[in-house]
Structure formats: C-alpha cells, structure tokens
Amino acid sequence: MTTPILKVTGLTMDFGGIRALNRLDLDVCAGEIVALIGPNGAGKTTFFNCVTGIYQPTGGDMILTPPGGHKSINLKGLKPNTVTEKGLARTFQNIRLFSKMTVLENVMIGRHCRTHAFIFGAIFRTKATRKEEKEIIEMSYSLLKEVGLAHLADEFAENLAYGAQRRLEIARALATEPLLLLLDEPAAGMNPQETLQLKELIKKIASAGQAILLIEHDMKLVMSLSDRIFVMDYGKKIAEGVPAEIRANPEVIKAYLGEDIDA
C-alpha cells in the first residue's frame, strides 16, 4: 500500500476538561474519497479545525505526504494559512464566503497562496504581475465553469442561491490546488435535487484524482460516494471500513439509533 497523503495518529483535543477528540487515527490516500461520519457533537468539525490549524490540538500528529517522493510535513502547530499552503483546503459547515466580493473574486482569493505579487508589483503593475493576474483570472474562471457558476461570475457572492454558494466554496477551495480537499457537510440544507448535483460534482472532482475527506450526514450520499468511511462518536473512532462494512457494524447502528433497553 502506498503512503497515505494525510495520516493522522493519536489526535487529541481538550477544551478545558472536555475531551473533544480522543486519540483519533485516520488516513486518506491519493485519489480516495473518505467520509467521516458520526452523530451530532461527535467531534467531526473539531477534527477539521484541528487538521486545518484553526485549533491547536493537545496531542497527536498529522503527517502530510505530498505524492512524488516529497518530504513529509507534520501539520501540527502550523497556522491555518500555512496548512493551506502545504496542501489542505477546506469548506465550512456554515458557509463562509466573502459576501461583498464577486463570485469570481472569491475564487481568485483561493489563488492567493499560490501567487506572489506584493506592494511593488501592485503599484507598478510589472510584467510578471500582469501575467500572474491573468493566470489567476483564467484559472478561477475555469474553476467556476467546472462547478457550473461561470454565468454568475460578476454577481456578489451573497446574492447566490444556497446550493450555488456551497459550490462556490468548493471552487474557492479547489483554487488553492489542494492535495486533499476537506468538505464540511457540503449537502447540509440542500434539497434532493441540489444534493444530486453536488454528488455529481464531487464525483467529477474525484475522478480527476483529487483526494477528498468528507463530513456528511446524508447517509445516501456518503454510502454512494465514499471509498472508505470512518465513524466517530464522543470524540472516538468507533469503526472504519468500506460502506458495506459500516452499514452492518453494530457499533455504528448503536451510536446512531441508541441501544435497545431490553438487550
């Protein structure tokens, strides 16, 4: 087996006396769609926040290994922007777009960490800056096309429909050219039609070889998309495996439906 892109071992996160994550292990390989599921409050979003550097975990390691024999990096202790630079990009459970910026600009922000122009370049608009700017616009636009929002490029992000905002977040995250894309409940609040579109979109992105780690509550979506599933409850991993195994796992059923009192 190849080395996974992201290998999380023993990740622990304490908030005061509360242990939100308890020695969690997880790994994602190249080209895989891995889902992380669990009841509300299980610690899934906390996990995302730890991996992306928004929270500093109490313990454990998160090793990112870029494909092609590059050196591994431990993401622990890095700032969110550095984590993104190293190759993790995420979306948010409650949409966090730049609402007063246009749709295209939102995606252009995603290119920030892959470009370099600074004060000097901005003021004098050097040849290199102009070229870079052109590349940013072109790449952003092609990403918008990919998620089906190209016709709304000049609209303010806040004016988009809910489903479109979700897709814009994905496009923005993809603009950072991530090794691993983290999606935090992308289908939350979507109607069946939108969910179906989203499923097609995620499939399309994954077919290009993009590794994806997904938090989702929609079981139908999770079961049909994922290569592997991790199940969490109370900050602990309670199961892992391919969808068929998870469906049959008594621990998982217990976590979701509760225990039979007579048993």
Partner 1 sequence: MFSYKEIKKTALISLWFVFLTFPIMVIKVDPIERIVRWRWDNAIYVGVGIFFTRFLIEYLKDRNNKRQAAKRSANKESQPIIHSIIANPKQRNIVIVVLLSTAFIFPFIFSTYQTNIMITALMYVVLGLGLNIVVGMAGLLDLGFVAFYAVGAYSYALLNYHFGLGFWAVLPIGGCLAGLAGLILGFPVLRLRGDYLAIVTLGFGEIIRLVLENWNDFSMGPSGISNIDRPGFFGIELSLNGSIMYLYYIMIVLMIITIFIVNRLQDSRLGRAWIALREDEIACQAMGIDKRKTKLVAFSLGAFWAGIVGVIFAAKTTFINPASFTFLESAIILSIVVLGGMGSIIGVIMGAFILILLPEYLRAFSEYRMLVFGGILVAMMVFRPQGLISNIRRTYTFNKDQ
Q: Does 56 bind partner 1 (CB under 8 A)?
A: no
CA distance 260 to 247: 18
Q: Site for partner 1 (CB under 8 A): how many residues?
A: 49
Start-end of H helices in 69-191: 80-86, 103-110, 119-124, 127-147, 162-174
- With beta carbons less than 8 A apart as the criterion, state whether 162 and 193 touch: no
Q: Does 22 bind partner 1 (CB under 8 A)?
A: no
Nearest residue (CB) to partner 1, 5 versus 157: 157
CA distance 106 to 157: 8
Q: Does 176 bind partner 1 (CB under 8 A)?
A: yes
Q: Which two tokens stand for residue 27?
A: 């790994």
Count Cβ atoms below 10 Å from residue 8 Cβ, excluding itself. 25
Q: Does 121 bind partner 1 (CB under 8 A)?
A: yes
Candidate segments 29-37, 61-69, 76-84, 253-261, binder of partner 1 by CB under 8 A: 76-84
Binds partner 1 (CB under 8 A): choice among 3, 70, 128, 134:
134
Binds partner 1 (CB under 8 A): choice among 3, 74, 99, 126:
99
Sheet containing 73-74, strands listed edge to edge, beginning at the edge strand earlier in sequence: 18-28, 6-15, 59-64, 73-74
Residue appearing with tokens 């409850």: 233
- DSSP annotation of 93: S
Q: Does 102 bind partner 1 (CB under 8 A)?
A: yes
CA distance 217 to 35: 10
Candidate segments 11-19, 83-91, 222-230, 234-242, binder of partner 1 by CB under 8 A: 83-91
Binding residues (CB under 8 A) for partner 1: these are: 52, 54, 79-81, 84-85, 89-90, 92, 96-102, 104-105, 108-110, 112-115, 117-119, 121-123, 125, 129, 132-134, 136-138, 141-142, 150, 153-154, 156, 172-173, 176
